[in-house]
Amino acid sequence: MDLAARWREVRLRAIGRGDYFRLTPGLYALYRTVGRLAPTCLRGRLLDAGAGEGAWRPLLAQYGDVVAVDLASAARSEVAGDLKQLPFADEAFDAAFCAQVLEHEREPAAVVAELYRVLRPGAKLLLTAPHLSRLHDLPHDYYRFTDEGLRALAAAAGFDVKTTERAGGLLSFLGHNLFSFGLAVFGPIPVFGGLARAAAKLLSPAGAALDRLLDRRGRFALNWVLEARKGDA
């Protein structure tokens, strides 16, 4: 089994246990930023666009009735569908969430336009995308996004951009790769795997906190999180 497949197994087990976002500093930083914005963004009938294996569902379910959509191969989604042609009527949702998906879409602008279409007037979009990242989920890894790039995509679709926030930095990027490699190597070994997971849970919050101190301007942002609103009719 290659390391990518092992890392996927580690992630799936962690999702089941509920400690997925403490596996690496990068995941922790992203969860912390989304968690801070979610209470004012997410409500009602809530679309989880590109839900994958459902890692975000416990958080999203605190704020609304989640409808998860992903490709047919996704195991934990209620609806199979292409994000560029969502199988929903216009103005069907009160909020939308889309995390770490746009880099895997050949036409990210089409995805954002579809999210705009299915949102009701006044509804909000919470969107995350990577700025620093190793190649992953090949061969479908196409883009990286700056703060201004995400803003431009959202504005072109018609959204009123409220804010963008970074989630993690250079330390989180290095820690994410180090921890994911270590967990992929040692995770299957009972004793060493347990020690590796314990170290990750302890060190991930510390790495994310140091990033906020060392790079206050976000020049080395790991991910960006965007909050935008669809205008009133």
pLDDT score at 191:
61
pLDDT in tens, the chain (233 residues): 587 888 888 888 889 888 899 888 899 999 999 999 999 999 999 999 999 889 999 999 999 999 999 986 555 667 888 999 999 999 999 999 999 999 999 999 999 999 999 999 999 999 999 999 999 888 999 999 999 999 999 999 999 999 999 999 998 898 889 888 888 887 667 666 677 777 777 777 877 778 878 887 778 999 999 999 999 86
Identify any residues that bridge with 167 across adjacent strands, giving them in sequence order: 223
**Among the listed residues 54, 67, 164, the one whose alpha carbon sits nearest the alpha carbon of residue 118:** 67
Q: Domain with 192 in it: what CATH number?
A: 3.40.50.150
**Residue written as token pair 């620093």:** 132
CB 99 within 8 A of CB 49: no
Structural domain including 69 reads 3-229
pLDDT score at 192:
63
Domains in the chain, number: 1
CB 128 within 8 A of CB 98: yes
The one-character DSSP state at 21 is G
DSSP per-residue string spanning 109-165: HHHHHHHHHHEEEEEEEEEEEESS----STT-------HHHHHHHHHHHT-EEEEEE
**Among the listed residues 81, 148, 151, 77, the one whose alpha carbon sits nearest the alpha carbon of residue 114:** 81
Q: Which residues contact 154 (CB under 8 A, 6 or more apart)?
A: 112, 125, 127, 161, 226, 228
**Among the listed residues 98, 217, 136, the one whose alpha carbon sits nearest the alpha carbon of residue 169:** 217
pLDDT score at 66:
96
pTM of the model: 0.92
Tell me the per-residue pLDDT of 25-51, one tens digit each, with 9 for 90 and over. Answer: 899 999 999 999 999 999 999 999 999
